[in-house]
Amino acid sequence: MAATYGAPGVYVEERPSGSMPLQGVGTAVAAFVGFTRTYNADAGDPSDPEGVKPQLVTSWPQYERIYGGFAKGAMLPHAVKGYFENGGSLCFIVRIPSGAGDGALPQRALPSAGRKEVESLVVEGLEPDTAVDVVIEGPPPPAEGQEPPPQEFTLKIVQDGAVREEYPGLTIGRGARGVDRVVNERSKLIRVQVQSAPGMSLAERTPAAGTYPVKPKRGATVVKATPQQMEGSEIERTGYQGLAIADDVTMVAVPDLITVATREDGSLDEDMYLAAQGRLVDWCEASGTRMAILDAPPGLNAQSALEWRTALGKDSAFGAAYYPHLVVANPLATNGSTNGERFITVPPSGHVAGVWARTDAVRGVWKAPANEIVRGVARLESDVTTGEQSLLNPEQVNCIRSFGANGIRIWGARTLARMDQSWRYINVRRLFIFVEESIRRGTQWVVFEPNDTDLWARVRRTVAAFLRGLWMQGALVGATPDQAFFILCDETNNPANSVDEGKLVVDIGIAPVKPAEFVIFRISQWQGGAATAE
């Protein structure tokens, strides 16, 4: 409706343009579900003291501040480290409580200097197998004629005969040098809790000097979670179902599934493992916007990996399987808590997710995340030959292979789709997720607009501009835009009865690029080069 003008003059009116630009959504956001060493609500989400809700992490140092770094028996920290090493920049952490706080961790109460029967501190190891000596040293006595020093003490942590950590100038109070504040923020071996002692001064409550062994409890084990806890609840925002609040997540991995499915005797509960992976793929497919990255069980040869894929039995474009496991440097080997093991075998999903993210950033989501180097890996758990991969690849098992001087590379790019070969490749499925989500989020302005030919034309221009940009970047096949995509939005698919029902239908077709999985050079002898007689 035109404005009413009363006085002569120049007036400026803003009018909506013929189309609204579409912006592509992010694709390189992963989510990892599993166990963490600890949880620091102050560094994470203070409203979630247990840390069970999805938490956004943008770097490995930030992960260490929130979750405490590596922990023996937990695969999630290794997956997150591999993700960032391989090019990932954003991920969500879904922490599953492992029950480690139920008394399984080694503890030792330290007596106070004033009264030996009163506890000053309680020291607790961060791992069930923590074995250290906590040494308390008081301040030196004052020289003659000088004031006595403040009630400070030094706490040392000795492991295997060597001082691993030392914290001088500590106090029992609440100041900046408070023992619980300093040690709990910095130590990678223990945490402390100051005990209350009504009626005693700070000097009397200072821990008595001495050496106090902190040893593992006999028979103590970390209580493991169940596959149901890994799955979680959308209502309670736990497990991978809690990712309902993280719309940007496009890839999901559960590296600690192997931890949950391993029995006490070290054997794998295959039924539990396969069932949990199947439910994860089903959940991703139901979401329509996420893909599951599945880890083959550890210790498999090629034949066993093929049997695992057959037993999994999934036919879905919303999952991808990788084999074998990776061998990486053990970050816990230096503190003596791992029996000196220099290397550790970890699931590949974290590193693979990082390669997916790196490929998206460098080339685009339409580029197959294969023939890419896997960083941060010492070697593979088992080497895959060309003959073995010729059996695994047709069954949708993506192999990670070592090519000597050319490095360790992902050498497969297939989804779990078996029947519908149009969804065979990971990049095709992820490209469609990207296009669908970009259009869905970028056309919200259309809702409740007058459903007429003018709106249809504006929608066509909006979507066409977005798809033309993808075609120019090489995401779509075709010498011209008309060969790369089509958009239909007119009276043929929007008849009067459909408009009366409040519907606006837009039919879109795109021709995605597909990877050159098999490169074939046909070479024959050519008797050329000789001059011909005229």
Would residue 2 count as lying in a domain?
no
Residue 148 DSSP label: P
Would residue 1 count as lying in a domain?
no
- Which residue in the block uniquely carries the two structure tokens 């440097």? 329
pLDDT band at 220 (very low <50, low <70, confident <90, very high): very low
Same domain, 196 and 117: yes
Same domain, 261 and 406: yes
Same domain, 458 and 319: no
What pLDDT was estimated at residue 102? 41
Angle separating helix axes 60-67 and 76-85, nearest 10 degrees? 160
DSSP 132-147: EEEEEEPPPPPPTTSP
Tell me which residue of 254, 332, 258 sits closest to 92, measured CA to CA.
254
Tell me which residue of 33, 92, 85 sits closest to 60, measured CA to CA.
85
State which H helix or E strand residue 277 sits in: helix 270-287
Q: Which pair of tokens denotes residue 298?
A: 């550890």
- The residue out of 184, 214, 244 marking a domain boundary is 214
Same domain, 309 and 456: no
Is 78 within 8 Å of 338 (Cβ atoms)? Answer: no
Which segment of 234-243, 306-315, 327-336, 398-407 scores lowest on mean pLDDT?
Answer: 327-336
What pLDDT was estimated at residue 105? 72
CA distance 394 to 302: 13
For 423, half-sphere exposure in the C-beta direction (CA atoms, 13 angstrom radius) is 18
* CATH number for 127: 2.60.40
Same domain, 331 and 397: yes
Same domain, 93 and 178: no
Is 307 within 8 Å of 321 (Cβ atoms)? Answer: no
Would residue 3 count as lying in a domain?
no
Bridge partners for 251 per DSSP: 30, 291
Same domain, 270 and 317: yes
Q: Which of 166-175, 262-271, 288-297 has the highest mean pLDDT?
A: 288-297
**Residue 1 reports pLDDT greater than 60:** no
Instruction: Give the mean pLDDT of 195-212.
Output: 86
Calculate Rg over the CA atoms of the chain. Answer: 30
* CATH number for 242: 3.40.50.11780
What pLDDT was estimated at residue 529? 64
Q: Which pair of tokens denotes residue 388?
A: 């073995």
Would residue 438 count as lying in a domain?
no
Same domain, 71 and 39: yes
What pLDDT was estimated at residue 41? 79
pLDDT band at 83 (very low <50, low <70, confident <90, very high): very high
Same domain, 310 and 332: yes
What pLDDT was estimated at residue 146? 65
What pLDDT was estimated at residue 116? 86
- The residue out of 164, 184, 214 marking a domain boundary is 214
CA distance 155 to 27: 47
pLDDT band at 115 (very low <50, low <70, confident <90, very high): confident
Q: Which pair of tokens denotes residue 502?
A: 């409040």
DSSP 3-state of 116: coil
**Residue 338 reports pLDDT greater than 60:** no
**Structural domain harbouring 468:** 448-534
What pLDDT was estimated at residue 337? 44
Q: What is the pLDDT of residues 123-176, one digit of tens each?
A: 988 777 788 999 999 876 666 666 656 678 999 999 888 999 999 989 987 788
State which H helix or E strand residue 470 sits in: helix 453-473
What pLDDT was estimated at residue 124? 87
Please report, rounded to a whole number, the percentage of residues in the chain having pLDDT higher than 70. 92
DSSP 3-state of 268: strand
Same domain, 340 and 277: yes
**Residue 222 reports pLDDT greater than 60:** no
CA distance 251 to 19: 32
Same domain, 246 and 327: yes
- The residue out of 151, 180, 214 marking a domain boundary is 214
Q: What is the pLDDT of residues 464-521, one digit of tens each?
A: 999 999 999 999 999 999 999 999 999 999 999 999 999 999 999 999 999 988 888 8
The residues, ordered by sequence, that sit 6+ positions from 443 with a Cβ below 8 Å of its Cβ are 20, 22, 459, 462, 463
Tell me which residue of 365, 371, 370 sits closest to 474, measured CA to CA.
365
Same domain, 380 and 341: yes
Would residue 436 count as lying in a domain?
no
Look at the chain and count its residues.
534
Q: How many domains does the chain have?
A: 3
Is 291 within 8 Å of 319 (Cβ atoms)? Answer: yes
Would residue 437 count as lying in a domain?
no
Neighbours of 419 (CB within 10 A): 6
Cβ-defined contacts of 515-524 (< 8 Å, 24+): 515/368, 515/370, 515/413, 515/425, 515/427, 517/413, 517/425
pTM of the model: 0.79
Would residue 102 count as lying in a domain?
no
Please report, rounded to a whole number, the percentage of residues in the chain having pLDDT higher than 90. 65
CA distance 272 to 295: 14
Would residue 464 count as lying in a domain?
yes
